[in-house]
Amino acid sequence: MRKPPRPFSVASFAPRPATTYVLHPGDVALAFEGERLETLLGSCVAVLLTDPRRTVGAMCHIVHAAAPGAASAGDTAYAEPAMRELFRRLRAVGISPRMCQAYVAGGGNMFPELAGPSNVGNSNVQWALEFLAAQGIPVVAESVEGACYRKLGWTVGPLEPVMQSIAVVADNP
């Protein structure tokens, strides 16, 4: 049985460093110490991997947990190609993904009044957690599921990634 990860830090965001990578759906980025990774999440899931010394960070923004069709085989909006590209980028700078620690965020239920516990966000989270477990990569913190949007940011270095969440509010006619 997997040990539950601790929650993310909820401290406020610090000023952005000169080099900031803002990930949009389907993006993958690699950053070095002092550089920043940021993304906004709804039902999508971000996986952030870092080496134990926290000198490198890599993040992907997964839109679909389902396997891509033949025409979308390399599309990093899909989970498997996104993780493949994340691993490739880490290996390109001499970091073994299996030596990394993971942070997982997102998978919110954007339509809680319509979708129950089996929703797109939930499927994305389950895929990411199962994939990381199969690779032997420990998840050290997570902020997943629930009826909220999230903003994840991390300046590569000794401090923890920061998570902010905003509740989804249903429109009242």
Query: For the chain, which residues make up each domain, given as ranges?
Result: 20-167
Nearest residue to 58 via CA among 26, 83, 77: 83
CA–CA dist 68, 93 (Å, integer): 27
User: What percentage of the chain exceeds 90 in pLDDT?
Assistant: 75
- pTM, full prediction: 0.88
pLDDT at position 71 is 87
Per the model's pLDDT, the better-predicted residue between 116 and 158 turns out to be 158
Indicate the pLDDT class of residue 68, thresholds 50, 70 and 90.
confident
Q: Which CATH architecture has domain 20-167?
A: 2-Layer Sandwich (3.30)
What is the pLDDT averaged over residues 147-151? 94
Q: Which of 11-20, 144-153, 159-168 has the lowest mean pLDDT?
A: 11-20
Token pair of 72 as six digits? 């979308």
Query: Going by C-beta distance under 8 Å and a sequence separation of 6 or more, which residues neighbour residue 79?
Result: 45, 62, 64, 65, 66, 124, 127, 128, 131
Length of the chain: 173
Using an 8 Å Cβ cutoff, are 147 and 168 in contact? yes
Strand residue runs (E) in the chain: 20-23, 28-32, 36-41, 45-50, 56-62, 101-106, 139-144, 148-155, 162-167
Q: pLDDT at residue 98 above 70?
A: yes
